[in-house]
Structure 1
Amino acid sequence: MSERVYNVLFLCTGNSARSILAESILSREGQGRFRAFSAGSQPKGEVHPFAISLLKKMNHPVEELRSKNWDEFAADGAPVMDFVFTVCDNAANEVCPVWPGQPMSAHWGLPDPAAVEGSEAERHLAFADTYRMLANRISIFASLPMKSLDRLSLQQRLSEIGRNFTQTA
């Protein structure tokens, strides 16, 4: 008997960097167990070039990535989400979208690497740091024993991932 595949949506305001990175990481990390998607409440319309560059460097496919509005996932016929994670950063006073419905959700806020100013190397480093933090969280999430956790325990674990694994190496 095959294991259930869970749909996961990563939300951010612009859907050009953090949520795109998360979608790519989970697509690889959770292959066969999770289907990853990303969207934004106010999508930029294009994926940030530094995100594309980093994902290529990390051997992620980038051809299908695009910045899209979260309305696509609320429309009839859209995949039903099991999990929704917001990855926008409250500290930057961004408006984090709230996803309606019944999916498990958690806030995994991260600073926006696209907002970093400085040299090109400093900006690339911000994207690499964001990738690392997301990879840590997603690795923990993907290893959770979904079948053996009740809904409340699972919700607690999802929230802990956002709180406790912000700056881990």
Structure 2
Amino acid sequence: MTSHWGIEDPAAIDGKDPQKRNAYTTVLHDIKLRFGAFAALPLANFERLSLLIRLKEIDVLECFTHKRPNVA
């Protein structure tokens, strides 16, 4: 089973070093949040379809949309 959670490419950011650093920090923050949400799933309790639904829910959590936190 696979799941794809799209993340913005921080290398594509135009700007000065602080903006680029912030882009990388934000992406790292998103990855940590998604991994945390995934690791918290009780995988042994899910059937395949239920697990797929939960994985998709992780992708559309509000904290992973364009309202990304500004992590310094």
Aligned length: 66
Which portions of structure 1, spanning 4 or more consecutive aligned residues, are displaced by more than 6 angstroms? Answer: none
- State the percentage of identical aligned residues: 35
Cα deviation code 1:101-127 (max 9, x no counterpart): xxx122211110011110001100000
Q: Provide the TM-score with structure 2 as the length reference.
A: 0.82
For 2:38 and 2:4, the matched residues in 1 are separated by 13
Structure showing the higher strand proportion among its residues: 1
Cα deviation code 1:68-97 (max 9, x no counterpart): xxxxxxxxxxxxxxxxxxxxxxxxxxxxxx
Contact 1:105 1:158 in 2 (8 A): no
Where does the alignment leave 5 or more consecutive residues of structure 2 unmatched?
A: none
For 1:161 and 1:113, the matched residues in 2 are separated by 21
For 2:13 and 2:4, the matched residues in 1 are separated by 21
The counterpart of 2:27, out of the listed 124, 127, 130, is 130
RCO (CA 8 Å, sep 6+): is it higher in 1 or 2? 2
Structure index of larger Rg:
1
Residue type of the alignment partner of 2:32: A
Structure showing the higher helix proportion among its residues: 2
| 1:66 paired residue number | none
| 1:158 paired residue number | 55
| 2:9 paired residue number | 112
Where does the alignment leave 5 or more consecutive residues of structure 1 unmatched?
A: 1-103
